[in-house]
Chain A
Amino acid sequence: MTAPTAHLASVGTCLPGEPVDNATLAKFVGVDETWAEMFIGNTSRYFAVDLATGQVRYSLADIAATAADRALAEAGLGPSDIDCVVMGTATPDHLMPATVNLVADRLGIDNVPTYQLQSGCAGAVQALDVARTLLLAGRCATVLVIGGDVCAKHLERDFDPGSRTSAELVNYALFGDGAGAAVLSTDPLGTGIAIRQVLNRLVGLGREPGQIIDWFGLGDRHSDRPAVSEDYKAIEETVPPLAQQMFWELLGDLGWGADQVDFLLPPQLSGRMSDRISAAMPAPGARRINVVRTVGNNGNALPFLQLAELLSQWDGPGRAVAVAVESSKWIKSGFALERS
């Protein structure tokens, strides 16, 4: 019996509501439109909350279930075909129950192992890693992988325009909500794409976190710690070299040359930064798949949105490499795809 291969059977995504452009963002949260365009580079994003009314329209479970349902439909599978669910998110609906289990319930999935990874931008890759490992070990035949984030909790509409710090303004312009999902299978279903390698490495020893999302309870809810904080300088400096390392490590593992890579899915931070990182990445001949400019930085959903975009552009044989860097406690991650 030959060792099983993990195939990417399908991808599904869900972006809540209508796109929110910079003008709308300026109107409701006081971000300067031109500044957002120039310095962040994102032109639109999606929010689970209705900015006009402040009403939360979708939970993470809602949009993750929709994305997952789309992935299942795309693969032609039903809930009972799924042997395992792995989800990555930085912003679960609750600390308990884990959102992955609410999503499973919504989809009608039961009696299977489920995992939720508390993760940032590398979460989708970590989830893919868990899924692929289970497939290769013969533990499962079909795994649903989900990633998504919802930042409604951190969107403050009631504010004093003068009091926003520039770091807060960056956050508003940068982030958005979304969910993505993929079905991985040992059967060559759907796209005919094999997942050749998935890598994850913590590289945070001695490094200060580049991003912190805090959480509060009854005991400390009045503390003045910021809910979200980022060290943009550190991110700007550290992400590009880590991304390049990961790229080379993947290629080294597989024995691929940089010129054999047809598509590159670079880390997605902001529209501007991703363009910069993307341009500096090796394999200049590989077509770049960047999506953050229009969908916003929705964390764990981004790699799935890149995959969906990749699938729409990719027909015929070829190779693709994706890299994601999580700047919280610094994780570099990536995966390699091949269609023969």
Chain B
Amino acid sequence: MTVREPIAVVGLDCRFPGARDAQEYWALLMDGRDGTGRVPEQRWDAERYHAVPPSAPQSAREARPPGRSNTVRGGFIHDPDAFDPAFFGIAPREAAAMDPQQRLLLQCSWRAIEDAAIAPQDLAGTATGVFVGVMANEWAYLALKDYDTITARYGSGNGYFMGANRVSYHLDLKGPSLAVDTACSSSLVAVHLAMNSLRWGECDHALVAGTNLIMTPVINIFYTQAGLSAPDGRCKPFSAAADGIGRAEGVAVLMLRRLSDALADRQPVYAVLKETGSNQDGRSNGITAPNRWAQEQLIESVWQRAGITADDIGFIEAHGTGTLLGDFIEAQALGRLTSGRSGGSVALGSVKSNFGHAEGAAGIAGLIKAVLALHHRTVPPSRFAHDENPKLDLPGQRLSLLKSPLRLPSGTVHAAVSSFGMGGSNAHAVLASAPRVVHRTRPGAPGVFTVSARGPERLRANLLAQADALSRRPGDQLAQLCWTSNRVKSRLPHRVAVAAADLPTLVAELRKAAERGDERGATRRAAPSVAFAFTGQGAQHPGMAAQWYRSCPAYALHFDEVDKLLAPHTGQSVRDLILDGDPEIHRARLAQPALFAVGYAMAATLTEAGIKPSYVIGHSIGEFAAACVAGALDPADAARLVARRGELMETLPEDGGMLAVALDAAEVEPLLAGRQRLGLAAVNGPRRTVVAGDLGELTALKAELTERKVAARPLTVSHAFHSPLMQPMVEEFRRACADVSDRRPNLPFLSTVHGRELTGDQTLDADYWARQITAPVRFAEAAHALLTTDITHVVEIGPASVLTPLLARLRTAAGSTASLHTAHPGEHAPGHRPQQLFGELWCAGLTPDWDVLYTESDRLPRRLPPYLFDESFRAWRSGSAPDRPEPSVPPTGADAAVPPLTDRGESCPPTPAGELPDSLAALARRLVCRVGGHDPDLLHDDTRLHEDLGFDSIQAMELKTRIESELPQLGTLPVEELLESMRTVGDLVRYLRDRDLADAAVTLTPEGTG
């Protein structure tokens, strides 16, 4: 962290007129489209507050009818009334009372964080700052006009100061949180504050926003009355057609981080903020006047701190409001810095040309344009550039308005963004293109893509949005895109997971899921309680769970580890055996260690992923891995024992078999009486009993059962496990177990020897393991005991689905609602089975740590489309004049009421139409008085307009309009000339006289009239 640490723009979201998101914003800019439109009916009745000034107004009142705006157009965003209150846990009534700016800020913030490939939930509780540039508080004007209806929620829903706090509150962000109002430069000043906050280490992430919603015609009327409003509602910056401001809306959020942090996290970076600055005009040429010197000074100092000169700047996103004066001053200020530039001109543009002046969101609108331009290495054109204002002499300043997109060169490119506020608070930023970073992809790596939403309908919409975006991505990014979805989009209750090994399949499956609407919704369990059920012998098959080894790096590591433990005892690598698909796996000598290895590695993988069991149960050989997981057996001991166990069993004569009988254990036991070489081998459930022992006796038993019409099926086994035939090896195995420490399990261990949970001082000692060889596997009883606990999920650990169907039958009897899962369904499992399983467990309400599924190179954040919110909720207040009766009299009428303001100028009799002024000097004085409301008696030739009369740029422009309408023969007065002449009243009169004479000369020349 350094004083000059560059700040990365890592995420963004925005809504501007004609653009619902950043992608549409970019398209609007690149196409050079016009985002303006008529004032939507919902806002206010545009006609009611509209007045077209007559072409030859008889009076100032007529030129600017009070309470009226000269335009019915502006830049309005779509659906500003839509919000998703349920998503943020806000009551609809509260949402309806909230300023829509707060609502949209919340949604944009969420989306900007997601765009940064971060889950908003991961920022909860962190030192994340929120800096919101805002100047419009119109909702409060509308909502708080009736004191009697003010409730608590009205208080918190109103006031722009709540904009930032609202975001911090709902997202639980604990860094600085402030609304910034410096008028039209608010949002770029907010960026400046966020930048400093990040550099100081006050916060690690910062959301910077700008917002502006136009709910009333107040500022339209103000702009009109001040002579600043463009009649067509469009800003035409630096254009000869520039005739004032068109107002616009916008809500935008940027996600910022220190560049070093972003790079360390391999986060995608749009662009880098090198330096920002802010200053004030001070006592300039009037409080609303822009100040060339202040602008120049600010820009120069920011460039200097950024270590760049005009030569390094690729393009400038200007404030560019499209007022003659503002454009003139800005071009002059920039020109002082750029005119000496080497090489060609520097590109100049202003996004205001596309939809107008977004006031509180204007700075960030320009900033996002610059950020996207650096990201795409292309600068969008500026509208109205084809009609450049020649008086600005842009070529002389080495500034060129972009008529078509500009392709930026490779390497580091710099851009500058200006935003100036009425009242004199200026802001400027220098950006650079993001540093080049090398990221490798691993072709063919599988993944599981997760989409979640607050409700089923939104889930479908979001599934389709993701599918569309993924269909346009290169195939190798599959695993990275999946990992990002796990990281960013896996926290909401309604869920769909799709595992895939290639992108087209993933896209197709996401679309199918959207069509089916088969989400597993809202599995909300306060505390999930998971059991691992380890499969026993019989589940083994050649190449078993090799899919796990190949597609899950964590499993491969655990498996290698256990293979190393086994190798000294098995004399060969169980891993190689499995990966080669060797059928030798069926021999007890190999099957038992291999099953142990698979179970152990799977359990270790799930545990590593945070799926930790609260209970374990193992079927026969499965109890060894279960004991390891429960901490009752060291993996090294377990490896030695299972190898020895299998080996000893294999040395026994192959004269035994096993028979599955469709009877209850209690019905089978009497049949075994007198059959010394048979035993009850396993009690798997109702009518699921296994008998084992001498092949001859088994055949006899089977015949007897067949006669009684009882189904009995011999199992394909080499030996009669869990039968008296195993007795010869028991003592030897007990000796092998002798040095195993008799630790008690640290988890509830459902013993299938005892048929219940191991309790009291029962341990897994040598006796236990010895007894386990011949004792029946009392799975049904143990599983029943398990299912009557608070268990919520059971995962069968092993290479096939054997216990799951048994558990499913037992579950009903136990009255359990636990969800059952099979880690690996068998040999036909797809190559990406681990990914599938994780998705399945997540849909069932568990929260796996997805990282274990991906290699380090695939744990790379990639941008995915942000969440699509529900838009069905709507709340809005239309803007009518709050406390005044409707204007019933046409204000342009001859008998319009005289406003209560003391306007000394109005006391002067208006100049009769068609009559030349008696004296130009008298008229000039009268107009100056009228504009400023001054006493004509106090006006002298040496009175200074700015210093003495407080003329600012708005008044200067108003004066210009009045002079032009009173003295039409003078034509349009060039703004720069007029400003030059406005030092004193005497200067003004001299200027007008010179101009009058010049014009007269022209009119006397016949050629001049043509």
A residues whose Cβ falls under 8 Å from a Cβ of B:
57, 62, 65-66, 68-70, 73-78, 80-81, 83, 105-107, 110-112, 141-142, 185, 187
CA distance A57 to B377 in the complex (A): 34
- Could you name 11 residue pairs across A and B whose Cβ atoms are closer than 8 Å? A57-B504, A62-B475, A68-B474, A69-B476, A70-B476, A75-B438, A76-B437, A111-B376, A141-B409, A141-B411, A187-B411
Question: B439–A73 contact, CB under 8 A?
Answer: yes
Annotate B345-382 by CB proximity to A: 1 below 8 A, 0 otherwise.
00000000000000000000000000000011110000
Instruction: Given the known inter-chain contacts A73-B440, A80-B375, please indicate yes or no for A111 contacting B410, CB distance below 8 A.
Output: no
Question: B405–A69 contact, CB under 8 A?
Answer: no
Question: A66–B377 contact, CB under 8 A?
Answer: no
Instruction: Given the known inter-chain contacts A76-B436, A76-B437, A112-B407, please indicate yes or no for A106 contacting B476, CB distance below 8 A.
Output: no
Contacts of A75 in B (CB 8 A): 438
- Of residues 454 through 488 on chain B, the ones whose CB sits less than 8 Å from some CB of chain A are 472-477
Contacts of B438 in A (CB 8 A): 73, 75-76
CA distance A187 to B405 in the complex (A): 25
* Nearest opposing residue in chain A for B26, CB measure: A110
CA distance A240 to B375 in the complex (A): 48
> What distance in Å separates the Cβ of B501 from its nearest Cβ neighbour in chain A?
12
Pick from B376, B410, B411, B474: contact of A66, CB below 8 A: B474
CA distance A75 to B472 in the complex (A): 21
Question: A81–B436 contact, CB under 8 A?
Answer: yes
B residues whose Cβ falls under 8 Å from a Cβ of A:
30, 375-378, 405, 407, 409-411, 436-441, 443, 472-477, 504
Question: B410–A141 contact, CB under 8 A?
Answer: yes
* Nearest opposing residue in chain A for B471, CB measure: A106
Pick from A66, A68, A77, A83: contact of B436, CB below 8 A: A77
CA distance A110 to B377 in the complex (A): 10
Contacts of A70 in B (CB 8 A): 441, 443, 474, 476
Question: A111–B378 contact, CB under 8 A?
Answer: yes
CA distance A66 to B472 in the complex (A): 11
Question: B407–A111 contact, CB under 8 A?
Answer: yes
Question: B477–A80 contact, CB under 8 A?
Answer: no
* Nearest opposing residue in chain A for B408, CB measure: A80
> What distance in Å separates the Cβ of B439 from its nearest Cβ neighbour in chain A?
6
> What distance in Å separates the Cβ of B608 from its nearest Cβ neighbour in chain A?
28
Question: A106–B474 contact, CB under 8 A?
Answer: yes
Contacts of B474 in A (CB 8 A): 65-66, 68-70, 106-107
Instruction: Given the known inter-chain contacts A66-B475, A107-B474, A141-B411, please indicate yes or no for A73 contacting B375, CB distance below 8 A.
Output: no
Contacts of A110 in B (CB 8 A): 30, 376, 378
Question: B410–A81 contact, CB under 8 A?
Answer: yes
- The DSSP consensus for interface residues of chain B is loop
CA distance A134 to B443 in the complex (A): 31
CA distance A111 to B646 in the complex (A): 68
* Nearest opposing residue in chain A for B472, CB measure: A106
Indicate the member of A78, A111, A187 with the most B CB atoms within 10 Å: A111
CA distance A185 to B440 in the complex (A): 19
* Nearest opposing residue in chain B for A68, CB measure: B474
Pick from A65, A73, A76, A83: contact of B410, CB below 8 A: A83
CA distance A70 to B443 in the complex (A): 9
Contacts of A66 in B (CB 8 A): 474-476
CA distance A70 to B473 in the complex (A): 12
Contacts of A185 in B (CB 8 A): 410
Indicate the member of B376, B377, B440, B474 with the most A CB atoms within 10 Å: B474
CA distance A54 to B52 in the complex (A): 69
Question: B477–A83 contact, CB under 8 A?
Answer: no
Question: B378–A76 contact, CB under 8 A?
Answer: no
* Nearest opposing residue in chain B for A190, CB measure: B438
Contacts of A68 in B (CB 8 A): 474
Contacts of B437 in A (CB 8 A): 76
Supplied contacts A81-B436, A106-B474, A141-B409, 16 more A-B pairs, CB within 8 Å? A65-B475, A66-B475, A69-B474, A73-B439, A73-B476, A74-B440, A76-B439, A77-B436, A80-B376, A80-B377, A80-B378, A83-B407, A105-B472, A106-B472, A111-B407, A142-B410
> What distance in Å separates the Cβ of A106 from its nearest Cβ neighbour in chain B?
6
Contacts of A111 in B (CB 8 A): 30, 376, 378, 405, 407
> What distance in Å separates the Cβ of A297 from its nearest Cβ neighbour in chain B?
22
* Nearest opposing residue in chain A for B504, CB measure: A57
CA distance A298 to B438 in the complex (A): 29
Contacts of B441 in A (CB 8 A): 69-70, 73
Contacts of A187 in B (CB 8 A): 410-411
CA distance A107 to B411 in the complex (A): 20
Contacts of A65 in B (CB 8 A): 474-475
CA distance A224 to B649 in the complex (A): 72
CA distance A80 to B268 in the complex (A): 13
Contacts of B377 in A (CB 8 A): 80-81
CA distance A306 to B197 in the complex (A): 53
Contacts of B376 in A (CB 8 A): 80, 110-111
Contacts of B472 in A (CB 8 A): 105-106
CA distance A68 to B475 in the complex (A): 11
CA distance A62 to B504 in the complex (A): 10
Contacts of B407 in A (CB 8 A): 83, 111-112
User: Which are the 10 A-B pairs with shortest beta-carbon distances?
Assistant: A76-B438, A69-B474, A141-B410, A80-B377, A111-B378, A66-B475, A80-B376, A73-B441, A142-B410, A65-B474
Contacts of A141 in B (CB 8 A): 409-411
Contacts of A62 in B (CB 8 A): 475
> What distance in Å separates the Cβ of A261 from its nearest Cβ neighbour in chain B?
30
* Nearest opposing residue in chain A for B433, CB measure: A80
Contacts of A78 in B (CB 8 A): 436
Contacts of A107 in B (CB 8 A): 474
> What distance in Å separates the Cβ of A226 from its nearest Cβ neighbour in chain B?
32
Instruction: Given the known inter-chain contacts A83-B407, A111-B407, please indicate yes or no for A69 contacting B477, CB distance below 8 A.
Output: yes
> What distance in Å separates the Cβ of A36 from its nearest Cβ neighbour in chain B?
27
Contacts of B410 in A (CB 8 A): 81, 83, 141-142, 185, 187
CA distance A111 to B475 in the complex (A): 23
CA distance A185 to B409 in the complex (A): 13
> What distance in Å separates the Cβ of B403 from its nearest Cβ neighbour in chain A?
14
* Nearest opposing residue in chain A for B376, CB measure: A80
CA distance A111 to B377 in the complex (A): 9
CA distance A69 to B475 in the complex (A): 9
CA distance A142 to B407 in the complex (A): 13
Contacts of B476 in A (CB 8 A): 66, 69-70, 73
> What distance in Å separates the Cβ of A91 from its nearest Cβ neighbour in chain B?
20
CA distance A83 to B413 in the complex (A): 14
Indicate the member of A80, A105, A141, A185 with the most B CB atoms within 10 Å: A80
CA distance A292 to B30 in the complex (A): 44
* Nearest opposing residue in chain B for A186, CB measure: B410
* Nearest opposing residue in chain A for B377, CB measure: A80
> What distance in Å separates the Cβ of B270 from its nearest Cβ neighbour in chain A?
10
CA distance A25 to B452 in the complex (A): 44
> What distance in Å separates the Cβ of B408 from its nearest Cβ neighbour in chain A?
9
* Nearest opposing residue in chain B for A81, CB measure: B410
> What distance in Å separates the Cβ of B445 from its nearest Cβ neighbour in chain A?
13
CA distance A66 to B478 in the complex (A): 11
Contacts of A105 in B (CB 8 A): 472
CA distance A81 to B411 in the complex (A): 8
CA distance A166 to B407 in the complex (A): 53
CA distance A65 to B409 in the complex (A): 23
Contacts of B378 in A (CB 8 A): 80, 110-111
CA distance A78 to B862 in the complex (A): 12
Contacts of B477 in A (CB 8 A): 69
CA distance A110 to B31 in the complex (A): 13
CA distance A53 to B472 in the complex (A): 25
* Nearest opposing residue in chain A for B475, CB measure: A66
Contacts of A142 in B (CB 8 A): 410
Contacts of A80 in B (CB 8 A): 375-378
CA distance A185 to B410 in the complex (A): 10
CA distance A105 to B474 in the complex (A): 11
> What distance in Å separates the Cβ of B502 from its nearest Cβ neighbour in chain A?
9
> What distance in Å separates the Cβ of A164 from its nearest Cβ neighbour in chain B?
32
> What distance in Å separates the Cβ of A97 from its nearest Cβ neighbour in chain B?
16
Contacts of B443 in A (CB 8 A): 70
